[in-house]
A and B are shown apart, each in its own frame.
Chain A
Amino acid sequence: MAKATFEVPELSEYTEVPAVKPGAMAHSSTFRAKEEFQQDLGFPGELVEDWQTKAIDKMGELLGKYRSLRVYMDACVKCGSCTDKCHYFLGTQDPKNMPVGRQDLMRKVYRRYFTLAGRLFPKLVGAEDFTKEVLDDWYCYYHQCSQCRRCSVFCPYGIDTAEISMAAREIMDSIGVGQKYCNEIIGKVYKIGNNLGLPGPALIDTIEGLEEDVYDETGVKVRYPIDEEGAEILLVTPSADFFAEPHVDGLIGYGKVFHEAGISWTISTYASEAANFGMFIGSYENMRRLAQRIREAAIKLKVKRIVFGECGHAWRVAYSFLNTLAGPWDFLDPKYPVPQHICEFTHGLIQEGKLKFDKSENDDKVLTYHDSCNVARASRMGDTPGGQFEIPRAIIKATCNHFYDMDEDTIRDRTFCCGGGGGLLTDDLMEVRVKGAKPRIDALNNVMQEKGVTHMAAICAICKTQFSKVLPYYGMEMDQVLSLHQLVSNAIVLTPGEDDDEPDGDEDLDNDNETDEAA
């Protein structure tokens, strides 16, 4: 059991809606970005003079640029439907972590400066001046939102608190109040190419090592190409996949799938990051700049298709925004959607009967599946709505004999966030992360008790890292979370090449390495 400096919530069979406890998380503010990291992104280094006016001007600008923000500021009727839907509220009891409570932090400022009622009768409509206290509240609570969109599912007007958190972070960045974790990471991508700050040569080294490991393990020369011009597919994957457990087992799996498909592929050292933290900070410009790297890499490597590895928010940006930010993709093969998810790719091959599996390789596990929030509610896989739920499950069922879903209220579009998304996957927010994970872990615990589930598969680097870290707080094992493509990797029957040995078959890829902060 991990040591905690705060009280870890007790698991319950079903997550109950707690009583409100104002101020319960007011002490938890994430670390501020230092001046240098702010400047890499084009933001002021510290709180600017005249910040109030500048912030209100920025808010006015965003209200004119984003219809979501404009409509959502007006439309809320305080019906309360969203109040018990946020995992951070359920885990912390802080009413400012209720989605509408979080929105109201901005709405009260909006009403004060942008509406007639708020200008004339501030008290009556809950409007407030933008004071330093309000700004501190913004910083605190807009960094306790993982932008998971669960609230938007249940709101009668689809009000998406993620949109408001993003706008708030953009406003704060513009007056010099940025978050260390996100902004430092974005700077690393600009300078080095990925979130982990893994430079090209080190990456090439790691990947070569990986290739050897897979050969030793299987006796089959599965290739893990990097920067290979003229490959058919560019694989863009979260940098955690390059070495951290359990992520890397997923990457090993992708390679085996490409091997069996007989399609050439490559990773790029330049676009060696799928995640796009520009979204977390609501900055269109930074999101676009990050996305352009993928376009440049695709052109330089002369690929025909782009496939994304397992990553939740990355898939949202890829599926929903990439065409907008870095399109049009008319230089790629029009036969395939741009981009494709690795699950779509694998699933396609399964349907064509091109992959052979020995499911018994996964018989030591009983699986469940965690729908990552941004895959579930902000993207799709395949041709039909809901493919993002069915395709990963179909892959699990094709590779494993034992699979059980968690409680219906906690999966598919009602899935609970892991608690670490949206730029919160940092140690200085550990309390928020552990408490916010409770609803998911309640449901996991429930299938462990009732169905004997031993492992949970996920398709998101953040989810995987977050669970490895928080499961121990709840008395579970960090390696209970797996990459979905690790299951594929275990079960896939590889076709040996001409100069390969026969594979020994029963060797399993056990992951007993230490997991660390990744993604």
Chain B
Amino acid sequence: MAFLTNFYAFLFYFAAFVLVAGLVFKLVQYSATPAPLKIPTTPAPTTRTGVVLRMMREVVLFESLFRGNKWTWIFGWMFHFGLFLVTLRHLRYFMDPVPFPIQLVQPFGIYGGLAMVVGLAGLWVRRFSVDRVKYITSTSDHLILALLILIGCSGLLMKFVFHTDVVEIKSFFLGLYTFDLKPLPGDPLLLLHLFLVASLMIIFPYSKLLHAPGLFFSPTRNQVDNPREQRHIAPWAKKLEQQ
């Protein structure tokens, strides 16, 4: 088992590194790129607070998607909210002691897992059944959905059918913090689940999953509508004025 433990330990170090470094690179790149013109999609808030509220509605409720397409919204929101609950539930493997709110969320995490899989399935069906969505779908779009569904299903199977030793898993992950490698259970389903999660972490900064940080940088959503009151000018545009 030592080989497996070593392999997975390395895999998670590597995946965590790629995820963090890749995301930091992207965040720096996005923030370093100026938005030279005021382009909020109007009507837009005229204050910062208003923009924060608009952004919160986009992140929590997917407001624009709701206006755009109800089916995609239902499935998409189910998936993301499910994923959010599942992620919270999983925090217990990474913390000791487990904070009270995370203990509270445990049972909801299971419903979250179910919702996530159902939502993903709905989104996938749309990729075949709606001709417009089919047209814009590329192989990678299918693969990401497959990856997430497999993660969800393998997780649910461990919960409901093929139980695994969660205490050992927890000690494996806690051990990673201190480079103290503890044995990982050898259940095939668990190994599959973990392998897929690590893959997800690795592709995150190189794929459309960048939509999550991207939203916060979108000028049509994060700009205040005040161009007449405040002069907005990018550094490269300022240079044109000095000529």
Of A67, A123, A328, which is within 8 A of B30 by CB? Answer: A67
Stretch at the interface among B2-10, B40-48, B172-180, B193-201: B40-48
**B-side contacts of A79, CB under 8 Å:** 65, 69, 72, 76
CA distance A275 to B140 in the complex (A): 42
Given contacts A79-B76, A80-B132, A338-B228, contact A116 B206 (CB under 8 A): yes
Q: How large is the interface on A (under 10, 10 to 19, 20 to 34, 35 or more residues)?
A: 35 or more
**Residue A75 contacts which of B33, B214, B232 (CB distance < 8 angstroms)?**
B214
Q: Would you call A95 and B132 a contact (CB within 8 A)?
A: yes
With A124-B138, A126-B140, A158-B220: A74-B227 Cβ-Cβ less than 8 Å: no
Determine whether the beta carbon of A380 is less than 8 Å from that of B232: no
Flag whether B221 is at the interface (Cβ < 8 A). yes
Number of A-B contacts (CB under 8 A): 213
Q: How far, in Å, is B120 (CB) from chain A's closest CB? A: 13
- B237 proximal to A (CB < 8 A): yes
Are the C-beta atoms of A101 and B65 separated by less than 8 Å? no
Q: Is the CB of B41 within 8 A of A319?
A: no
A307 at the interface (CB under 8 A from B): no
Cβ of A413 and Cβ of B231 under 8 Å apart?
Answer: no
- Is the beta-carbon distance between B221 and A157 smaller than 8 angstroms? yes
Task: Known contacts A75-B210, A75-B215, A153-B67; decide if A323 and B36 are in contact (CB<8 Å).
Answer: no
Give complex CA distance A158, B40 in Å: 9
Note all chain B residues with C-beta closer than 8 A to A385.
Answer: 42-46, 225
Chain B min CB distance to A197 (Å): 27
Give the interface residue-count category, chain B: 35 or more
Contact between A378 and B39, CB atoms less than 8 A apart? yes
Cα A31 to Cα B33 with chains together (Å): 34
Contacts of A288 in B (CB 8 A): 237, 240
- B214: min CB distance to chain A, Å: 3
By a CB distance below 8 angstroms, the chain B residues around A284 are: 36-37, 237, 240
Q: Is A83 an interface residue (CB 8 A)?
A: yes
A327 at the binding interface (Cβ < 8 Å): yes
Across-interface contacts of A117 in B (CB, < 8 A): 140, 203, 206-207
Ordered nearest first, which 5 A-B pairs have the shortest CB separation?
A154-B68, A75-B214, A81-B68, A385-B43, A158-B220
29 A-B pairs in the complex with CB atoms less than 8 angstroms apart:
A19-B131, A67-B30, A70-B33, A71-B30, A72-B218, A74-B208, A74-B210, A78-B137, A79-B76, A80-B130, A80-B136, A81-B72, A104-B136, A125-B207, A149-B220, A157-B214, A158-B215, A158-B218, A160-B39, A160-B41, A284-B37, A288-B237, A288-B240, A323-B232, A324-B233, A337-B229, A380-B225, A386-B43, A413-B41
